[in-house]
A and B are shown apart, each in its own frame.
Chain A
Amino acid sequence: MRLAVENLHASLGGARVLRGVSLAADGAQFVGLIGPNGVGKTTLVRAVAGLIPFEGVVTLDGAPVSAMSARARARAISYLAQGEGSHWPLEVSRLVALGRLPHLEPFHRASAEDEAAIERAISLAGVHEFLGRDVLTLSGGERSRVLLARALAVEAPLMLVDEPVSALDPYHQLRIMEVLRAYADEGRMVVAVLHDLTLAARHCDRLILLDDGKIKADGPPADVLTPQNLRETYRIEALIGEGSEPFVLPIRRAE
Chain B
Amino acid sequence: MKRHIDAWAVNLSLAALAALLFAASIYVGRGGELLADKFETISAVDRDIAWLILTEVRLPRALLGLLVGATLGLTGAGLQGLLRNPLAEPGLIGASGGAALGAVLVFYSGLAAGTAMFVPIGGVIGAVAALAVLYLLAGRGPSVVTIMLACVAVSGCTGALTSLALNLSPSPYAALEIVFWMLGSLTDRSMTQVWFVLPFMGVGWLLVASTWRALDALSLGEDTAATLGFSMRSVTARAILGTGLAVGAAVSVTGVVGFVGLVVPHLMRPLVGQRPASLLLPSALGGAALVLAADLFVRIPVNGPELKLGVVTSLIGAPFFLWLILRTRREAP
Residues of A within 8 A of B (CB): 46, 49-51, 70-71, 73-75, 77-81, 84-91, 94-95, 98-99, 101-102, 104, 109, 134, 147, 150, 154
Interchain CB contact under 8 A, A88 and B219: yes
Interchain CB contact under 8 A, A89 and B274: yes
Tell me whether B275 is interfacial, beta carbon within 8 Å.
Answer: yes
CA distance in complex: A147, B4 (Å): 24
With A98-B228, A101-B230 known, 7 other A-B pairs at CB within 8 A are A79-B224, A84-B220, A87-B219, A88-B275, A89-B274, A94-B274, A98-B216
Chain B residues within 8 Å of A154, by CB: 228
Interchain CB contact under 8 A, A81 and B229: no
* Given A87-B84, A94-B275; A150-B226 close (CB under 8 Å): no
Enumerate B217-248 residues with CB–CB distance to A below 8 Å.
Answer: 217-221, 223-224, 226-231
Interchain CB contact under 8 A, A81 and B213: no
* Given A81-B223, A98-B216, A98-B217; A90-B229 close (CB under 8 Å): no
Closest 9 CB pairs of A and B: A74-B229, A79-B227, A87-B84, A71-B229, A102-B229, A101-B228, A88-B274, A81-B223, A70-B229
Distance in Å: Cβ of B271 to nearest Cβ of chain A: 13
Enumerate B71-86 residues with CB–CB distance to A below 8 Å.
Answer: 84-85
The residue of chain A having its C-beta at the shortest distance from the C-beta of B226 within the complex is: A51
Distance in Å: Cβ of B139 to nearest Cβ of chain A: 14
The residue of chain A having its C-beta at the shortest distance from the C-beta of B85 within the complex is: A87
Chain A residues within 8 Å of B229, by CB: 70-71, 73-75, 101-102
CB 8 Å contact bits of B81-103 with A (1 = contact, 0 = none):
00011000000000000000000
Chain B residues within 8 Å of A84, by CB: 220-221, 223-224
Interchain CB contact under 8 A, B274 and A79: no
Interchain CB contact under 8 A, A85 and B213: no
Chain A residues within 8 Å of B227, by CB: 49-51, 73-74, 77-79
Distance in Å: Cβ of B28 to nearest Cβ of chain A: 38
Tell me whether B276 is interfacial, beta carbon within 8 Å.
Answer: yes
Total of A-B residue pairs, C-beta within 8 Å: 83
Enumerate B47-90 residues with CB–CB distance to A below 8 Å.
Answer: 84-85
Task: Show 15 residue pairs from A and B whose CB-CB distance is below 8 angstroms, ordered by the A residue.
Answer: A51-B223, A74-B230, A78-B227, A80-B224, A81-B224, A84-B220, A87-B84, A87-B219, A87-B221, A88-B275, A90-B273, A90-B275, A94-B274, A101-B230, A150-B220
CA distance in complex: A134, B273 (Å): 9
* Chief secondary structure at chain B's binding surface: loop
CA distance in complex: A242, B293 (Å): 74
Most chain A beta-carbon contacts within 10 A, residue among B227, B269, B275: B227
Tell me whether B29 is interfacial, beta carbon within 8 Å.
Answer: no
Tell me whether B170 is interfacial, beta carbon within 8 Å.
Answer: no
CA distance in complex: A85, B223 (Å): 11
Distance in Å: Cβ of A208 to nearest Cβ of chain B: 21
* Given A49-B227, A79-B227, A88-B276; A101-B217 close (CB under 8 Å): yes
Tell me whether B142 is interfacial, beta carbon within 8 Å.
Answer: yes
CA distance in complex: A21, B213 (Å): 35
The residue of chain A having its C-beta at the shortest distance from the C-beta of B230 within the complex is: A70
Chain B residues within 8 Å of A102, by CB: 228-229
CA distance in complex: A150, B227 (Å): 12
Chain A residues within 8 Å of B269, by CB: 88
Chain B residues within 8 Å of A150, by CB: 220
Most chain A beta-carbon contacts within 10 A, residue among B224, B275, B276: B224
Enumerate B266-318 residues with CB–CB distance to A below 8 Å.
Answer: 269, 273-276
Question: Which among B84, B85, B231, B276 is the interface contact of A70 at CB below 8 angstroms?
Answer: B231
* Given A94-B275, A150-B220; A87-B142 close (CB under 8 Å): yes
Chain B residues within 8 Å of A50, by CB: 226-227
Chain B residues within 8 Å of A90, by CB: 219, 273-275
Chain A residues within 8 Å of B220, by CB: 81, 84-87, 95, 98, 147, 150
Distance in Å: Cβ of A144 to nearest Cβ of chain B: 13
Chain B residues within 8 Å of A134, by CB: 274
Distance in Å: Cβ of A102 to nearest Cβ of chain B: 4
Question: Which among A46, A98, A104 is the interface contact of B219 at CB below 8 angstroms?
Answer: A98
* Given A74-B229, A88-B274, A94-B275; A104-B223 close (CB under 8 Å): no
Chain A residues within 8 Å of B224, by CB: 79-81, 84
Distance in Å: Cβ of B213 to nearest Cβ of chain A: 6
Chain A residues within 8 Å of B84, by CB: 87-88
Distance in Å: Cβ of B83 to nearest Cβ of chain A: 9
CA distance in complex: A109, B50 (Å): 48
The residue of chain A having its C-beta at the shortest distance from the C-beta of B4 within the complex is: A109
Distance in Å: Cβ of A85 to nearest Cβ of chain B: 7
Chain A residues within 8 Å of B219, by CB: 86-88, 90, 95, 98
Chain A residues within 8 Å of B230, by CB: 70, 74, 101
